[in-house]
Amino acid sequence: MDQILSVLPDDAVWTSVGAVADIPVLGARVVRTASGDVALFRTADDAVFALEDRCPHKNGPLSQGIVHGRRVTCPLHNWVIDLATGEAVAPDEGRAGHIPVRVENGAISVALGLAAPAQGGCKGGCHV
Amino acid sequence: MDMHHPLSSPDGRIAAQDAPRKERLVVVGNGMAGMRTVEELLAKAPDRYEITVFGAEPLPNYNRIMLSPVLAGEKTFDQIVLNSRAWYEDNAITLLTGEPVESVDRAAKTVTSASGRVVGYDRLLLATGSMPFIIPVPGSTLPGVIGFRDLADVDAMLAAAAKGGRAVVIGGGLLGLEAANGLRVKGMDVTVIHLMPTLMERQLDPSAGMLLQRELERRGITVLTGADTAEIMGGERAEAVRLKDGTELPADIVVMAVGIRPNMALGKAAGLECGRGIRVDDAMRTSDPAVFAVGECVEHRGVTWGLVAPLFEMAKVLADALADGESAYTGSVTSTKLKVTGVDVFSAGDFSGGEGTEEIVFRDAARGVYKRLVLKDDKLLGAVLYGDTKDGGWYFSLLKDGADVSGERDTMIFGQGFGGADAGNPNAAVAALPDSAEICGCNGVCKGTIVQAITSKGLTSLDEVRAHTKASASCGSCTGTVERLLAVTAGDAFKAGPAVKPMCKCTQHSHDVVRAAIVAKNLRTMPEVFQALEWTTADGCASCRPALNYYLLCAWPGEYADDYQSRFINERAHANIQKDGTYSVVPRMWGGLTSASELRAIADVVDKFAIPTVKVTGGQRIDLFGVKKEDLPAVWADLNAAGMVSGHAYAKGLRTVKTCVGSEWCRFGTQDSTGLGVKLERMTWGTWTPHKVKLAVSGCPRNCAEATIKDLGVVCVDSGYELHVGGNGGLHVRACDLLAKVATEEEVLEYTGAFMQLYREEARYLERTAPWVERVGLDHIKQALVEDPEGRKALHARFLFSQSFSQDDPWAERAAKGVDRHEFSLLAKVG
Ligand code: SRM
Ligand SMILES: Cc1cc2nc3c(=O)[nH]c(=O)nc-3n(C[C@H](O)[C@H](O)[C@H](O)COP(=O)(O)OP(=O)(O)OC[C@H]3O[C@@H](n4cnc5c(N)ncnc54)[C@H](O)[C@@H]3O)c2cc1C
Ligand code: SF4
Ligand code: FES
């Protein structure tokens, strides 16, 4: 069945990036874009989420973390990030950039233009 | 067949002018959706149309869903007929069976059947259903390869089953499992091969899928998950299925049940707009206003459907449209039940959720029950039930109605009957259990026995209940239930014991309880642990999953399939992640020895991949820092080519064996410390342990290899070897304890293997040997290794056995064999 996560403007530009089957269950893959890496996560129940691949703490690559439930644990210092919103789970504070995802027929597309910006953490170009 | 209107005179033209001719409705497809539409239409506008129905199957309309019980011998075909031929006659419907329609001429408004019959229509209804999807592997067209769609397929399966033999069912979804069950009941030897890791993954989450798999296996069905079909082998007919991993499964019959394809060929050829199915609007009208479509052959708002409930909703709307009404079909919420007698599975709605969803998970290991509800904004979004589906209907109605469940939220997982005065009190659920309910599975203790012991003996603590009844005394997974029973029965007198520290927030059990239960209850996969020990989350967390993965790997060597998604990134990528997201690479240098050719290969790799930093580590080897993840397999390939393997600098496993020069060169050396170090490293490399392990061998008590602050250090002396254990540098420096003194290298190896295995089997995940030795005491370790030579030998043998499965270089597997390729490549590059 199709999974459409939130109500978005009709004119959203969707970029197709691959298939759900290409991402391991409870895993992630990286999409390289002009504005930085985007991590695509797949949960146990095959929901797909996209976050900018930078932890709001110190830019850790979230794509390399362990996915559990609807969250990912950052590989560098164990912040836990909510996949659906990019929010860090309390007590940590901050938000990873969050990108709308659409899954149709097992094919994933992302609306890069509609990314919700990151909040908190280091915004410098430590690594992209 | 008389195609004339009953009122028409011999001269049709004139009659057509005087009496208004009925409109002609032609239905293509005598299946469930088409006939439901006709039934609805007859109820709304009985005399409106002159109806002709074409059916490709030579049969009256039957309940396709019930083909599974027919296969299993629980029903006969006559029992599943929906509308007999008499019904068509009574309603003046012309039924043409065994006569598929081959083309539609929309300009002339006629259809032509395979027998050449041409019938005109005013309105046309396409209800052609769908076809089984046959994976186009070599051999898929051989006789003996069938789908599961119609009575002919069932007959073919029954004919094969009558001869006994073996069946392979490709596809572990609803249809595949119902076919597998039927064939098994009919006496065949059945194997289900399923591409995904768990069964029915579209309807069930992994926990429920695992329970289902266990149950089917208990019934004698072999289930292979993660299995991909490469080819169907055979000459005249199918003889075997070969999987991509090379496994060959002999088969007398192969049932393909991997999915369905909407049957839209007729609509497409007629020039109707089609996507995945024939496109229809909310009134079920196609791109041609005179042509309608319904059932599995349609695509509505981008969605196709494969269950009857939505098709019946469509049929209602469509009948209304045909009677000039104005209702609209806007999509459906569906639920699924598996029709395998004695297996209760239910799922409904969307349990993939989305932003802001919450989950409620309930597990009752003793009864084999698993329930999971997904909520959002106080509404139920999805439900998965296994083992106890009696509340499925209630959840489904809450879900369909979009009811506000904030009032029931705390107790709804216990079902509809639960609530009222006791709402919100989990003790009430326990109080409601019958006396015969088994509470402790390990010791077979039921509720009545425990309650009786509490009241007659005046028990007030968990330990007392354990002592008197044995309940909760083995694996401890029922501890929570027993405590609730105590609270309910003993009331205020009940004293909760000192809380054990749970592994993490997903469970109330400690590391030790979980480890013991894995062995005692024969738990072989992570979902089994979650279920048996009543995990409160669906798939654990970043803290328990790596621990469970290790415990399972240690308990079931060679059997447990390592779950890389449960490993920290360093162990998943076989390199150490750095603060900038690059990786470091440390090849093994056995015992700290290297050679010109190894150094040359390292230098070449550094140049070729522009590796920014090269450093000699504190562990006597060389670390290459700043390697891009995508480059890792190529870097490893070059290092492998020079004979080097992974140094596991990233692993909770053996890191280094540090040595000094020893008797070969050093004027003080008493033994060949370098050679012994190499032997130790050859024996222990590749192992997985609770935390990292470092060994060292010093050639004399001057101890240049710092052997007495290692997990196990050997200090050579004239008369033999001193074995020191439980030391480390790091945050809290701890010098080793002396374990024993032995005379030969063989003994050093045996003691080391045994020590490694004792640590592997007893320590908690992320507990290094130093805190472990302090916790259990040196005496315990001496007891096991020094005072019990038989036990030591057995430990050593178990270590070597598990090593036989783990000494494959992970770098070579990834560089040359392409394991986990997805880990090192981008999903896409855009913009
Ligand atoms: C590279 C190296 C430092 C160096 O340049 O020499 C090093 C580097 C790291 N050490 Fe170490 N340790 C290195 C030798 C040591 C030593 C010395 C030794 O082994 O003789 C120690 C003290 C001895 C000991 O372990 O008891 C040491 C005690 C630690 C500790 C503290 C362990 C403890 O039990 O308290 C950590 C933290 C941990 O493992 O949780 C640590 C963790 C780390 C990590 C893995 C930090 C991390 O998690 O990212 C560093 C990663 C390096 C990388 O990316 O490759 N490293 N580390 C050494 C690699 C040795 C090797 O060849 O594999
Ligand atoms: C074994 C089995 C078990 C199932 N179990 C369940 C279940 O438990 N719950 C559930 O909700 N659903 C279940 N289903 C699915 C359900 O049966 C289908 O969703 C439903 O039958 C679809 O109805 P339909 O009218 O679209 O297609 P069908 O019932 O397949 O009817 C289409 C008919 O059109 C005929 N046809 C095709 N092309 C032509 C042509 N050119 N000319 C003339 N006739 C043509 C076909 O021969 C067929 O008879 C099951 C299906 C199977 C096979
Ligand atoms: S001592 Fe600290 S900074 Fe240095 S390598 Fe070890 S962990 Fe990293
Ligand atoms: S960078 Fe993610 S937790 Fe520190």
CA of B1 to the centre of ligand 2 (A): 27
Q: Which CATH architecture has domain B132-261?
A: 3-Layer(bba) Sandwich (3.50)
CA of B789 to the centre of ligand 2 (A): 69
CA distance B97 to B332: 31
Say if CB B495 and CB B454 are below 8 A apart: no
Burial of B329 per CB tally in 10 Å (0-12, 13-18, 19+): buried
Helices B462-469 and B479-490, interaxial angle, to 10°? 100
SS3 B375: strand
β-pair type (B253-256, B166-170): parallel
CA of B730 to the centre of ligand 3 (A): 10
Domains along chain A with CATH numbers: 14-117 (2.102.10.10)
Residue partners of B152: CB distance under 8 A and separation at least 6: B57
Give the residue whose CA is nearest to atom 48 of ligand 2.
B31
Q: Which atom of ligand 1 is nearest to the CA of B647?
A: 63
> Does the distance separating the beta carbons of B206 and A73 come in below 8 Å?
no
Task: Give phi and psi for B525, each to the nearest 5.
Answer: -140, 165
Task: Give phi and psi for B113, each to the nearest 5.
Answer: -95, 175
- Give the pLDDT confidence score for residue B692 in this predicted structure: 97
Say if CB B197 and CB B226 are below 8 A apart: yes
- Give the pLDDT confidence score for residue B430 in this predicted structure: 75
Does domain B568-650 fall under CATH 3.90.480.10? My reply is: yes
Give the residue whose CA is nearest to atom 45 of ligand 2.
B29
pLDDT tens figures, A80-112: 999 999 999 877 889 999 999 999 989 999 999
CA distance B555 to B558: 10
CB burial of B538-575 (b: ≥16 within 10 Å; e: otherwise) equals bbbbbbbbbbbbbbbbbbbbeebeebbbbbbbbbbbbb
Give the residue whose CA is nearest to atom 51 of ligand 1.
B576
Burial of B596 per CB tally in 10 Å (0-12, 13-18, 19+): exposed
- Best probe residue, ligand 2, of B38, B59, B64 (max atoms within 8 Å of C-beta): B64
Burial of B661 per CB tally in 10 Å (0-12, 13-18, 19+): middle
Ligand approaching nearest to the C-alpha of B615: 1
Q: Which of B337, B308, B307, B68 is nearest to B176 (CA)?
A: B68
CA distance B559 to B522: 12
CA distance B736 to B316: 80
β-pair type (B345-349, B335-337): antiparallel
Q: CA quadruple B340, B344, B349, B354: dihedral positive or negative?
A: negative
CA distance B317 to B326: 8
Binding residues of B for [4Fe-4S] cluster: 660, 666, 700, 704
Burial of B97 per CB tally in 10 Å (0-12, 13-18, 19+): middle
- Give the pLDDT confidence score for residue B499 in this predicted structure: 56
Binding residues of B: 660, 666, 700, 704
Q: Which of A68, A75, A126 sits opposite B541 (nearest CB)?
A: A68
Say if CB B688 and CB B680 are below 8 A apart: no
Chain centroid offset of residue B183 CA: 24
> Does the distance separating the beta carbons of B353 and A47 come in below 8 Å?
yes
AA letter at B459: L
Does domain B23-129+263-323 fall under CATH 3.50.50.60? My reply is: yes
Say if CB B96 and CB B113 are below 8 A apart: yes
Token pair for B695:
């060994």
Give the residue whose CA is nearest to atom 3 of ligand 4.
A77
> Does the distance separating the beta carbons of A35 and B827 come in below 8 Å?
no
Write down the pTM of the prediction: 0.64
pLDDT tens figures, A39-68: 999 999 889 999 999 999 999 999 999 999
Q: Tokens 């029954």 belong to which residue?
A: B158
Q: Which of A40, A64, A73 sits opposite B827 (nearest CB)?
A: A40
pLDDT tens figures, A2-46: 333 445 566 678 999 999 999 999 999 999 999 899 999 999 988
Query: Which stretches of B56-123 are DSSP H helices?
Result: 67-71, 85-90
β-pair type (A3-4, A101-104): antiparallel
Q: How many CB atoms lie within 10 A of CB A117?
A: 11
Residues of chain A found within 8 Å of residue B829, distances taken between Cβ atoms: 31-33
Beta bridge partners of B582: none
Give the residue whose CA is nearest to atom 35 of ligand 2.
B29
Say if CB B698 and CB B715 are below 8 A apart: yes
CA distance B529 to B550: 13
Residue partners of B570: CB distance under 8 A and separation at least 6: B576, B577, B650, B651
Q: Which of B617, B689, B693, B705 is nearest to B655 (CA)?
A: B693
| Residue ranges in chain B modelled with pLDDT below 50 | 1-17, 419-424
Q: Which of B449, B454, B445 is nearest to B472 (CA)?
A: B445
Q: Which atom of ligand 1 is nearest to the CA of B770?
A: 34
> Above 70 in pLDDT, residue A126?
no
Ligand approaching nearest to the C-alpha of A55: 4
For residue A21, what are the CA distances in angstroms to A47, A106, B368, B569, B795?
A: 11, 7, 30, 20, 42
Q: Give the closest-approach CA distance of B751 to chain A in angstroms.
A: 36
Does domain B653-823 fall under CATH 3.30.413.10? My reply is: yes
CA of B130 to the centre of ligand 2 (A): 6
Ligand approaching nearest to the C-alpha of B571: 1
- Best probe residue, ligand 2, of B126, B128, B260 (max atoms within 8 Å of C-beta): B128
Stated as kind and residue range, the H or E segment containing A104 is strand A101-104
Where in the sequence of chain B do the CATH 3.30.413.10 domains occur? 653-823
- Give the pLDDT confidence score for residue B176 in this predicted structure: 94
Q: Give the closest-approach CA distance of B138 to chain A in angstroms.
A: 23
Where in the sequence of chain B do the CATH 3.50.50.60 domains occur? 23-129+263-323, 132-261
With CA atoms as reference, the chain A residue closest to B828 would be A31
